[in-house]
């Protein structure tokens, strides 16, 4: 996961006419991806050593797991670790509305001559 992230950022970085100075990468990580933000952060900190990402921060925003029950016609927050089912009618979870995201939200960067800007890769 971290490798894919770094490759995505590197591709973008290398495609710039002037390589920008990246300051922070904002990630969106869904609760249902089973990716631990702490271990992701750790892996990133290890892999960025001696690369163009040296000194770059990783900011992780977690999105909750939200499911939709067709019986009750409403969203609910399934409890993690338990059986995934609607708390109202106990119907097993079918539709996941949110919580499976794993993507780059935006990259904060700057050029020496310009003010900082942000890039959203729209993955
Ligand atoms: Zn229900």
Distance from the CA of 83 to the center of ligand 1, in angstroms?
14
Q: What's this model's pTM, rounded to 2 decimal places?
A: 0.79
**Coil, strand or helix: which one is 106?**
strand
**d(CA 103, ligand 1 centre) in Å:** 29
Ligand 1 centre and the CA of 74: distance in Å? 7
Beta bridge partners of residue 21, listed in sequence order: 110
What confidence score (pLDDT) does residue 115 get?
61
pLDDT of residue 81: 67
Length of the chain: 123
State in Å: Cα 41 to ligand 1 middle: 36
Phi-psi region of 90 (alpha: psi -120 to 50; beta: other; left: phi over 0): left
* 6 Cα to the center of ligand 1, angstroms: 40
Residue 122: per-residue pLDDT: 64
Residue 119 CB partners (closer than 8 Å, separation 6+):
12, 106, 107, 109
pLDDT in tens, the chain (123 residues): 789 999 999 999 999 998 899 999 999 999 988 889 999 999 999 999 999 999 999 999 999 999 999 999 999 999 876 578 999 999 999 999 999 999 999 999 998 765 667 777 765
Q: Which two tokens stand for residue 20?
A: 């920008």
- The residue behind tokens 């979870």 is 93
Query: 1 by DSSP, 3-state: which?
Result: coil
């Amino acid at each position: 996961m971290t490798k894919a992230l770094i490759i995505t950022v590197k591709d973008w970085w290398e495609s710039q006419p002037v390589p920008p100075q990246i300051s922070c990468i904002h990630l969106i990580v869904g609760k249902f991806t089973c990716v631990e933000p702490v271990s992701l952060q750790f892996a990133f900190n290890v892999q960025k050593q001696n690369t163009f990402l040296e000194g770059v921060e990783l900011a992780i925003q977690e999105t909750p797991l939200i499911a939709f029950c067709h019986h009750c016609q409403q969203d609910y927050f399934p409890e993690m670790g338990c059986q995934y089912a609607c708390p109202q009618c106990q119907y097993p979870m079918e539709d996941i509305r949110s919580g499976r995201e794993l993507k780059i939200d935006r990259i904060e960067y700057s050029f020496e001559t310009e003010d900082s800007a942000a890039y959203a890769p729209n993955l």
